[in-house]
Structure 1
Protein backbone atom coordinates (compact mmCIF):
# COMPACT_ATOMS: atom_id res chain seq x y z
CA UNK A 1 0.00 0.00 0.00
CA UNK A 2 2.69 2.51 1.01
CA UNK A 3 4.68 1.91 -2.19
CA UNK A 4 1.58 2.64 -4.25
CA UNK A 5 1.07 5.92 -2.45
CA UNK A 6 4.50 7.18 -3.45
CA UNK A 7 4.74 8.13 -7.10
CA UNK A 8 6.48 5.79 -9.48
CA UNK A 9 9.29 8.29 -9.92
CA UNK A 10 11.82 7.70 -7.17
CA UNK A 11 13.76 10.27 -5.24
CA UNK A 12 16.94 8.64 -6.49
CA UNK A 13 15.92 9.50 -10.05
CA UNK A 14 15.66 13.15 -9.03
CA UNK A 15 19.09 13.27 -7.46
CA UNK A 16 21.80 15.34 -9.04
CA UNK A 17 25.44 14.34 -8.58
CA UNK A 18 26.61 15.40 -5.15
CA UNK A 19 29.15 18.18 -4.86
CA UNK A 20 30.96 19.50 -1.82
CA UNK A 21 28.22 20.82 0.43
CA UNK A 22 28.11 24.51 1.28
CA UNK A 23 28.94 25.79 4.76
CA UNK A 24 26.43 28.18 6.36
CA UNK A 25 28.76 28.55 9.37
CA UNK A 26 26.19 27.63 11.99
CA UNK A 27 23.53 30.01 10.75
CA UNK A 28 20.11 29.59 12.38
CA UNK A 29 17.40 29.12 9.77
CA UNK A 30 13.89 30.08 10.80
CA UNK A 31 11.61 27.55 9.11
CA UNK A 32 7.87 27.88 8.68
CA UNK A 33 5.77 24.71 8.74
CA UNK A 34 2.11 23.88 9.24
CA UNK A 35 2.45 21.10 11.82
CA UNK A 36 -1.01 19.62 11.26
CA UNK A 37 -0.05 17.20 8.51
CA UNK A 38 1.28 13.84 9.72
CA UNK A 39 3.62 12.23 8.92
CA UNK A 40 5.19 15.23 7.16
CA UNK A 41 4.99 17.49 10.22
CA UNK A 42 3.03 17.35 13.44
CA UNK A 43 3.39 18.35 17.09
CA UNK A 44 4.46 15.61 19.47
CA UNK A 45 1.93 15.77 22.30
CA UNK A 46 4.43 14.50 24.87
CA UNK A 47 7.22 16.98 24.12
CA UNK A 48 5.47 19.81 22.30
CA UNK A 49 8.14 19.63 19.59
CA UNK A 50 7.47 19.64 15.86
CA UNK A 51 8.37 16.25 14.41
CA UNK A 52 7.94 14.40 11.13
CA UNK A 53 9.50 13.51 7.79
CA UNK A 54 10.01 17.11 6.65
CA UNK A 55 11.68 17.93 9.97
CA UNK A 56 14.04 14.98 9.64
CA UNK A 57 14.86 15.93 6.04
CA UNK A 58 15.71 19.49 7.04
CA UNK A 59 17.75 18.32 10.04
CA UNK A 60 19.74 16.04 7.74
CA UNK A 61 20.35 18.86 5.24
CA UNK A 62 21.52 21.19 8.00
CA UNK A 63 23.93 18.52 9.25
CA UNK A 64 25.53 18.64 5.79
CA UNK A 65 25.69 22.41 5.31
CA UNK A 66 26.29 23.52 8.91
CA UNK A 67 23.05 25.28 9.82
CA UNK A 68 20.66 25.14 12.76
CA UNK A 69 16.97 24.61 11.95
CA UNK A 70 14.42 26.51 14.04
CA UNK A 71 10.92 25.25 13.17
CA UNK A 72 7.93 27.55 13.70
CA UNK A 73 4.37 26.18 13.58
CA UNK A 74 2.34 28.42 11.26
CA UNK A 75 -1.16 28.17 9.78
CA UNK A 76 -1.11 27.14 6.14
CA UNK A 77 -3.27 30.01 4.91
CA UNK A 78 -0.64 32.58 5.93
CA UNK A 79 2.57 30.64 5.53
CA UNK A 80 3.66 31.97 2.13
CA UNK A 81 2.78 35.55 3.01
CA UNK A 82 4.90 35.23 6.15
CA UNK A 83 7.80 33.93 4.04
CA UNK A 84 7.47 36.85 1.63
CA UNK A 85 7.49 39.28 4.57
CA UNK A 86 10.76 37.83 5.85
CA UNK A 87 9.35 36.08 8.92
CA UNK A 88 11.01 32.85 7.75
CA UNK A 89 14.14 31.94 5.87
CA UNK A 90 12.31 29.07 4.22
CA UNK A 91 9.21 26.89 4.36
CA UNK A 92 9.10 23.10 4.41
CA UNK A 93 5.57 21.80 4.77
CA UNK A 94 4.73 19.22 2.14
CA UNK A 95 4.65 21.98 -0.49
CA UNK A 96 3.99 20.93 -4.07
CA UNK A 97 6.12 22.59 -6.73
CA UNK A 98 3.75 24.25 -9.21
CA UNK A 99 4.28 26.73 -12.06
CA UNK A 100 1.99 29.24 -10.31
CA UNK A 101 4.03 29.16 -7.10
CA UNK A 102 7.30 29.34 -9.01
CA UNK A 103 6.21 32.71 -10.39
CA UNK A 104 6.60 34.33 -6.96
CA UNK A 105 8.84 31.97 -4.95
CA UNK A 106 11.94 29.83 -5.43
CA UNK A 107 12.01 26.10 -4.76
CA UNK A 108 14.72 23.62 -3.94
CA UNK A 109 15.10 20.54 -6.08
CA UNK A 110 12.32 18.01 -5.28
CA UNK A 111 12.99 15.84 -2.24
CA UNK A 112 10.09 13.42 -2.75
CA UNK A 113 7.29 12.81 -5.23
CA UNK A 114 3.88 11.92 -3.83
CA UNK A 115 0.67 10.72 -5.42
CA UNK A 116 -2.63 12.15 -4.24
CA UNK A 117 -5.33 9.86 -2.88
CA UNK A 118 -8.81 9.98 -1.35
CA UNK A 119 -9.40 8.91 2.22
CA UNK A 120 -12.81 7.34 2.89
CA UNK A 121 -14.68 5.85 5.81
CA UNK A 122 -14.31 2.07 5.87
CA UNK A 123 -18.06 1.67 5.38
CA UNK A 124 -17.74 3.64 2.11
CA UNK A 125 -14.60 1.89 0.86
CA UNK A 126 -16.26 0.96 -2.45
CA UNK A 127 -16.98 4.57 -3.43
CA UNK A 128 -15.56 5.84 -6.74
CA UNK A 129 -14.87 9.23 -8.26
CA UNK A 130 -18.09 8.76 -10.19
CA UNK A 131 -20.04 8.76 -6.94
CA UNK A 132 -18.65 12.21 -6.12
CA UNK A 133 -19.20 13.55 -9.61
CA UNK A 134 -22.82 12.42 -9.54
CA UNK A 135 -23.52 14.92 -6.75
CA UNK A 136 -24.71 14.56 -3.20
CA UNK A 137 -21.29 13.34 -2.01
CA UNK A 138 -18.85 15.94 -0.67
CA UNK A 139 -15.08 15.69 -1.12
CA UNK A 140 -13.07 17.66 1.46
CA UNK A 141 -9.66 19.31 1.09
CA UNK A 142 -7.50 21.94 2.73
CA UNK A 143 -7.99 25.37 1.22
CA UNK A 144 -5.14 26.79 -0.83
CA UNK A 145 -3.57 23.41 -1.62
CA UNK A 146 -2.99 21.46 -4.80
CA UNK A 147 -5.29 18.87 -3.26
CA UNK A 148 -8.13 21.38 -3.34
CA UNK A 149 -7.33 22.31 -6.94
CA UNK A 150 -7.37 18.67 -8.00
CA UNK A 151 -10.61 18.03 -6.11
CA UNK A 152 -12.35 20.77 -8.09
CA UNK A 153 -10.94 19.42 -11.36
CA UNK A 154 -12.10 15.89 -10.56
CA UNK A 155 -15.57 16.39 -9.11
CA UNK A 156 -16.52 20.06 -9.58
CA UNK A 157 -16.43 22.94 -7.09
CA UNK A 158 -20.02 22.31 -6.01
CA UNK A 159 -18.99 18.90 -4.66
CA UNK A 160 -15.95 20.15 -2.70
CA UNK A 161 -15.87 21.34 0.92
CA UNK A 162 -12.78 23.33 1.97
CA UNK A 163 -11.26 23.43 5.45
CA UNK A 164 -8.50 25.52 7.02
CA UNK A 165 -6.43 22.43 7.84
CA UNK A 166 -6.48 18.71 7.20
CA UNK A 167 -7.27 17.91 10.84
CA UNK A 168 -10.62 19.67 10.40
CA UNK A 169 -11.22 17.85 7.10
CA UNK A 170 -10.49 14.48 8.74
CA UNK A 171 -12.87 15.30 11.59
CA UNK A 172 -15.56 16.21 9.06
CA UNK A 173 -15.05 12.83 7.41
CA UNK A 174 -15.30 11.03 10.73
CA UNK A 175 -18.50 12.92 11.52
CA UNK A 176 -19.92 12.08 8.07
CA UNK A 177 -20.16 15.76 7.15
CA UNK A 178 -18.22 14.81 4.00
CA UNK A 179 -17.70 11.49 2.25
CA UNK A 180 -13.99 11.72 1.42
CA UNK A 181 -10.81 13.74 1.90
CA UNK A 182 -8.35 14.28 -0.94
CA UNK A 183 -4.84 14.38 0.44
CA UNK A 184 -1.28 13.34 -0.39
CA UNK A 185 -1.15 9.56 -0.31
CA UNK A 186 1.69 9.56 2.20
CA UNK A 187 -0.44 11.42 4.74
CA UNK A 188 -3.55 9.43 3.81
CA UNK A 189 -1.67 6.30 4.81
CA UNK A 190 -0.74 7.85 8.15
CA UNK A 191 -4.38 8.68 8.90
CA UNK A 192 -5.41 5.18 7.81
CA UNK A 193 -3.00 3.76 10.39
CA UNK A 194 -4.08 6.19 13.10
CA UNK A 195 -7.77 5.44 12.57
CA UNK A 196 -7.47 1.78 11.60
CA UNK A 197 -10.87 0.18 11.05
CA UNK A 198 -12.53 3.59 10.71
CA UNK A 199 -10.80 5.25 7.73
CA UNK A 200 -9.18 3.77 4.63
CA UNK A 201 -7.29 4.95 1.56
CA UNK A 202 -10.04 4.14 -0.90
CA UNK A 203 -9.02 5.87 -4.16
CA UNK A 204 -5.39 6.04 -5.28
CA UNK A 205 -3.37 6.69 -8.42
CA UNK A 206 -4.35 10.33 -8.79
CA UNK A 207 -2.06 13.20 -9.81
CA UNK A 208 1.56 13.07 -8.64
CA UNK A 209 3.29 16.10 -7.12
CA UNK A 210 7.00 16.80 -6.53
CA UNK A 211 7.54 18.44 -3.15
CA UNK A 212 10.13 21.15 -2.56
CA UNK A 213 11.51 23.53 0.05
CA UNK A 214 10.35 27.12 -0.49
CA UNK A 215 12.37 30.36 -0.40
CA UNK A 216 11.84 34.02 -1.17
CA UNK A 217 12.53 34.71 -4.82
CA UNK A 218 16.24 35.33 -5.38
CA UNK A 219 17.39 33.99 -2.00
CA UNK A 220 20.83 32.43 -2.47
CA UNK A 221 20.20 30.09 0.47
CA UNK A 222 18.42 27.77 -1.96
CA UNK A 223 21.78 26.92 -3.53
CA UNK A 224 23.26 25.81 -0.22
CA UNK A 225 20.16 23.79 0.64
CA UNK A 226 20.26 22.12 -2.77
CA UNK A 227 23.85 21.08 -2.10
CA UNK A 228 22.83 19.59 1.23
CA UNK A 229 19.87 17.86 -0.38
CA UNK A 230 22.10 16.40 -3.10
CA UNK A 231 24.42 15.09 -0.39
CA UNK A 232 21.68 13.27 1.54
CA UNK A 233 20.35 11.80 -1.70
CA UNK A 234 23.81 10.58 -2.68
CA UNK A 235 24.71 8.98 0.64
CA UNK A 236 21.36 7.22 1.08
CA UNK A 237 20.13 9.28 4.03
CA UNK A 238 17.00 10.42 2.21
CA UNK A 239 16.14 6.90 1.10
CA UNK A 240 16.57 5.69 4.70
CA UNK A 241 14.15 8.36 5.94
CA UNK A 242 11.59 7.38 3.31
CA UNK A 243 11.95 3.76 4.36
CA UNK A 244 11.61 4.73 8.01
CA UNK A 245 8.32 6.53 7.43
CA UNK A 246 6.75 4.43 4.67
CA UNK A 247 8.63 1.15 4.56
CA UNK A 248 9.51 1.57 0.91
CA UNK A 249 13.10 0.37 1.21
Structure 2
Protein backbone atom coordinates (compact mmCIF):
# COMPACT_ATOMS: atom_id res chain seq x y z
CA UNK A 1 0.00 0.00 0.00
CA UNK A 2 1.10 3.56 -0.62
CA UNK A 3 2.56 5.61 2.24
CA UNK A 4 3.79 9.19 2.43
CA UNK A 5 5.49 11.67 4.74
CA UNK A 6 4.12 15.19 4.31
CA UNK A 7 5.25 18.39 6.01
CA UNK A 8 2.05 20.26 6.86
CA UNK A 9 1.39 23.96 7.52
CA UNK A 10 4.43 24.91 5.45
CA UNK A 11 5.58 25.04 1.83
CA UNK A 12 9.20 24.34 2.78
CA UNK A 13 10.50 20.82 3.42
CA UNK A 14 11.76 20.02 6.94
CA UNK A 15 9.64 22.70 8.56
CA UNK A 16 6.02 22.63 9.71
CA UNK A 17 4.63 19.38 11.12
CA UNK A 18 5.47 16.04 9.48
CA UNK A 19 2.63 13.51 9.22
CA UNK A 20 2.51 9.98 7.94
CA UNK A 21 -0.27 9.24 5.45
CA UNK A 22 -1.25 5.65 4.61
CA UNK A 23 -3.72 4.91 1.79
CA UNK A 24 -5.96 1.89 2.45
CA UNK A 25 -8.25 -0.10 0.15
CA UNK A 26 -10.36 -1.21 3.11
CA UNK A 27 -10.54 -0.51 6.86
CA UNK A 28 -7.54 -1.87 8.79
CA UNK A 29 -7.20 -3.42 12.22
CA UNK A 30 -6.75 -0.82 14.93
CA UNK A 31 -3.77 -2.66 16.45
CA UNK A 32 -2.02 -2.69 13.06
CA UNK A 33 -2.55 1.05 12.54
CA UNK A 34 -1.20 1.71 16.02
CA UNK A 35 1.89 -0.39 15.23
CA UNK A 36 2.49 1.52 11.97
CA UNK A 37 2.15 4.86 13.78
CA UNK A 38 4.63 3.71 16.42
CA UNK A 39 7.04 2.63 13.67
CA UNK A 40 6.81 5.94 11.78
CA UNK A 41 7.09 7.94 15.04
CA UNK A 42 5.51 11.14 13.76
CA UNK A 43 3.24 13.04 16.12
CA UNK A 44 0.35 11.62 14.06
CA UNK A 45 -0.07 9.20 11.19
CA UNK A 46 -3.28 9.34 9.15
CA UNK A 47 -4.98 6.26 7.71
CA UNK A 48 -7.54 6.90 4.95
CA UNK A 49 -9.69 4.41 3.05
CA UNK A 50 -9.55 5.59 -0.56
CA UNK A 51 -11.72 2.84 -2.10
CA UNK A 52 -15.47 3.36 -1.76
CA UNK A 53 -18.60 4.80 -3.36
CA UNK A 54 -18.01 7.87 -5.51
CA UNK A 55 -18.86 11.07 -3.65
CA UNK A 56 -19.01 9.50 -0.20
CA UNK A 57 -16.72 10.83 2.57
CA UNK A 58 -13.54 8.76 2.94
CA UNK A 59 -13.02 7.13 6.36
CA UNK A 60 -10.04 8.80 8.10
CA UNK A 61 -8.36 8.02 11.44
CA UNK A 62 -5.28 9.42 13.19
CA UNK A 63 -2.82 7.74 15.57
CA UNK A 64 0.04 9.10 17.65
CA UNK A 65 2.87 6.66 18.44
CA UNK A 66 0.86 5.55 21.51
CA UNK A 67 -2.86 6.18 20.96
CA UNK A 68 -5.68 7.16 18.59
CA UNK A 69 -6.82 10.80 18.68
CA UNK A 70 -10.29 12.17 17.81
CA UNK A 71 -9.09 15.09 15.68
CA UNK A 72 -5.86 16.03 13.91
CA UNK A 73 -5.41 19.11 11.77
CA UNK A 74 -2.00 18.54 10.22
CA UNK A 75 -2.80 14.88 9.48
CA UNK A 76 -5.98 15.93 7.69
CA UNK A 77 -4.14 18.63 5.74
CA UNK A 78 -1.44 16.13 4.77
CA UNK A 79 -4.04 13.60 3.62
CA UNK A 80 -5.95 16.16 1.54
CA UNK A 81 -2.65 17.28 0.00
CA UNK A 82 -1.79 13.70 -1.03
CA UNK A 83 -5.27 13.11 -2.47
CA UNK A 84 -5.51 16.37 -4.39
CA UNK A 85 -7.02 19.10 -2.21
CA UNK A 86 -10.82 18.87 -2.46
CA UNK A 87 -11.87 16.06 -0.13
CA UNK A 88 -14.48 14.98 2.42
CA UNK A 89 -13.52 12.73 5.32
CA UNK A 90 -15.64 10.68 7.71
CA UNK A 91 -13.98 10.94 11.15
CA UNK A 92 -14.65 10.59 14.87
CA UNK A 93 -15.22 14.37 14.86
CA UNK A 94 -17.82 14.23 12.09
CA UNK A 95 -17.50 14.91 8.38
CA UNK A 96 -14.56 17.22 7.63
CA UNK A 97 -14.44 19.07 4.31
CA UNK A 98 -11.20 20.21 2.68
CA UNK A 99 -11.13 22.74 -0.15
CA UNK A 100 -8.21 23.64 -2.40
CA UNK A 101 -7.88 27.43 -2.69
CA UNK A 102 -6.58 29.36 -5.69
CA UNK A 103 -3.39 30.43 -3.89
CA UNK A 104 -2.22 26.87 -3.25
CA UNK A 105 -3.50 26.72 0.32
CA UNK A 106 -6.03 24.15 1.54
CA UNK A 107 -8.87 25.10 3.87
CA UNK A 108 -10.25 22.56 6.32
CA UNK A 109 -13.68 23.03 7.89
CA UNK A 110 -13.30 21.99 11.56
CA UNK A 111 -15.52 22.25 14.64
CA UNK A 112 -14.70 25.10 17.00
CA UNK A 113 -13.38 23.98 20.40
CA UNK A 114 -14.12 26.74 22.88
CA UNK A 115 -12.23 27.02 26.15
CA UNK A 116 -13.74 28.09 29.46
CA UNK A 117 -11.78 29.74 32.30
CA UNK A 118 -10.50 27.35 34.99
CA UNK A 119 -8.11 27.41 37.91
CA UNK A 120 -4.65 26.33 36.74
CA UNK A 121 -3.87 22.66 37.45
CA UNK A 122 -1.21 22.30 40.14
CA UNK A 123 1.31 20.74 37.77
CA UNK A 124 1.37 23.72 35.38
CA UNK A 125 3.81 25.84 37.38
CA UNK A 126 6.32 22.99 37.59
CA UNK A 127 5.69 21.93 34.00
CA UNK A 128 6.20 25.39 32.48
CA UNK A 129 9.22 26.98 34.21
CA UNK A 130 9.71 30.63 33.35
CA UNK A 131 6.13 31.09 32.12
CA UNK A 132 3.94 33.72 33.78
CA UNK A 133 0.50 32.09 33.89
CA UNK A 134 -1.80 35.04 33.13
CA UNK A 135 -4.96 33.03 32.41
CA UNK A 136 -5.93 29.38 32.15
CA UNK A 137 -8.83 27.83 30.25
CA UNK A 138 -10.03 24.30 29.51
CA UNK A 139 -11.13 23.15 26.06
CA UNK A 140 -12.44 19.70 25.18
CA UNK A 141 -9.03 18.06 24.98
CA UNK A 142 -6.41 20.65 25.98
CA UNK A 143 -5.62 23.17 28.68
CA UNK A 144 -4.85 26.66 27.34
CA UNK A 145 -2.36 28.88 29.17
CA UNK A 146 -1.87 32.54 28.35
CA UNK A 147 1.76 33.42 29.01
CA UNK A 148 3.15 36.83 29.89
CA UNK A 149 4.71 37.39 26.46
CA UNK A 150 5.57 35.80 23.13
CA UNK A 151 9.18 35.68 24.33
CA UNK A 152 8.12 33.40 27.19
CA UNK A 153 6.30 31.14 24.74
CA UNK A 154 9.35 30.91 22.49
CA UNK A 155 11.79 30.30 25.37
CA UNK A 156 9.93 27.78 27.56
CA UNK A 157 11.63 24.44 28.13
CA UNK A 158 8.93 22.30 29.74
CA UNK A 159 9.28 19.70 32.44
CA UNK A 160 7.50 16.96 30.51
CA UNK A 161 7.21 14.63 33.49
CA UNK A 162 5.24 17.32 35.32
CA UNK A 163 3.14 18.22 32.27
CA UNK A 164 2.24 14.56 31.78
CA UNK A 165 0.31 14.71 35.07
CA UNK A 166 -1.96 17.54 33.88
CA UNK A 167 -5.42 15.94 33.42
CA UNK A 168 -5.76 16.75 29.71
CA UNK A 169 -4.58 15.49 26.32
CA UNK A 170 -2.23 18.45 26.02
CA UNK A 171 -1.26 21.97 27.02
CA UNK A 172 -1.39 25.01 24.73
CA UNK A 173 0.83 27.95 25.70
CA UNK A 174 0.02 31.19 23.90
CA UNK A 175 0.59 34.95 23.88
CA UNK A 176 -0.07 37.91 21.56
CA UNK A 177 2.04 37.99 18.41
CA UNK A 178 5.37 39.76 18.42
CA UNK A 179 5.84 40.45 14.72
CA UNK A 180 3.74 42.09 11.98
CA UNK A 181 0.98 40.00 10.49
CA UNK A 182 0.81 37.47 13.34
CA UNK A 183 -2.09 37.76 15.80
CA UNK A 184 -0.78 35.28 18.34
CA UNK A 185 1.95 32.71 18.90
CA UNK A 186 1.61 29.31 20.51
CA UNK A 187 3.29 26.04 21.35
CA UNK A 188 1.62 22.71 22.15
CA UNK A 189 2.90 19.99 24.48
CA UNK A 190 1.17 16.60 24.72
CA UNK A 191 3.28 14.13 26.74
CA UNK A 192 -0.01 12.56 27.89
CA UNK A 193 -0.40 10.98 24.41
CA UNK A 194 3.25 10.33 23.66
CA UNK A 195 4.11 13.69 22.02
CA UNK A 196 6.45 15.96 23.93
CA UNK A 197 6.00 18.91 21.54
CA UNK A 198 3.72 18.92 18.52
CA UNK A 199 5.42 21.20 15.95
CA UNK A 200 2.25 22.71 14.38
CA UNK A 201 -1.16 21.69 15.72
CA UNK A 202 -4.21 22.37 13.57
CA UNK A 203 -6.76 21.20 16.14
CA UNK A 204 -5.31 23.52 18.80
CA UNK A 205 -6.14 26.46 16.55
CA UNK A 206 -9.82 25.51 16.76
CA UNK A 207 -9.47 26.63 20.39
CA UNK A 208 -7.03 29.48 19.80
CA UNK A 209 -9.24 31.16 17.18
CA UNK A 210 -12.28 31.25 19.45
CA UNK A 211 -10.32 32.23 22.56
CA UNK A 212 -8.36 35.06 20.93
CA UNK A 213 -11.50 36.45 19.25
CA UNK A 214 -12.62 37.77 22.63
CA UNK A 215 -9.17 38.93 23.71
CA UNK A 216 -8.52 40.80 20.45
CA UNK A 217 -12.09 42.20 20.33
CA UNK A 218 -12.96 40.44 17.07
CA UNK A 219 -16.47 39.36 16.05
CA UNK A 220 -16.92 35.82 17.50
CA UNK A 221 -19.21 34.95 14.58
CA UNK A 222 -16.86 35.94 11.76
CA UNK A 223 -13.19 36.85 12.11
CA UNK A 224 -9.85 36.02 10.48
CA UNK A 225 -6.58 35.34 12.31
CA UNK A 226 -2.99 34.35 11.60
CA UNK A 227 -1.23 32.17 14.15
CA UNK A 228 2.42 31.20 14.40
CA UNK A 229 3.27 27.97 16.20
CA UNK A 230 6.73 28.78 17.50
CA UNK A 231 8.26 25.31 17.75
CA UNK A 232 11.74 24.59 16.41
CA UNK A 233 10.18 23.59 13.05
CA UNK A 234 7.61 26.44 13.17
CA UNK A 235 4.54 26.91 11.00
CA UNK A 236 1.80 29.35 10.05
CA UNK A 237 -1.93 28.64 10.38
CA UNK A 238 -4.54 30.97 8.93
CA UNK A 239 -7.97 30.79 10.55
CA UNK A 240 -11.44 31.91 9.57
CA UNK A 241 -13.83 31.80 12.53
CA UNK A 242 -17.45 31.16 11.53
CA UNK A 243 -19.61 30.82 14.65
CA UNK A 244 -19.20 27.17 15.73
CA UNK A 245 -16.80 26.24 12.89
CA UNK A 246 -13.22 27.22 12.11
CA UNK A 247 -11.70 27.25 8.64
CA UNK A 248 -8.06 26.21 9.09
CA UNK A 249 -5.85 27.13 6.15
CA UNK A 250 -2.41 25.75 5.44
CA UNK A 251 0.02 24.54 2.83
CA UNK A 252 1.84 21.22 2.63
CA UNK A 253 4.72 19.56 0.82
CA UNK A 254 5.46 15.87 0.25
CA UNK A 255 8.95 14.83 1.37
CA UNK A 256 8.71 11.05 0.98
CA UNK A 257 6.52 8.56 -0.89
CA UNK A 258 6.80 4.81 -1.14
CA UNK A 259 5.27 1.44 -0.30
CA UNK A 260 4.40 -0.03 3.08
CA UNK A 261 5.22 -3.76 2.93
CA UNK A 262 3.68 -5.16 6.12
Structure with a larger share of its residues in helix? 1
Q: Same fold (TM over 0.5)?
A: no
- Tell me: higher relative CO, structure 1 or 2? Use CA pairs within 8 A at least 6 residues apart: 1
- Which one has a larger percent strand, Structure 1 or Structure 2? 2
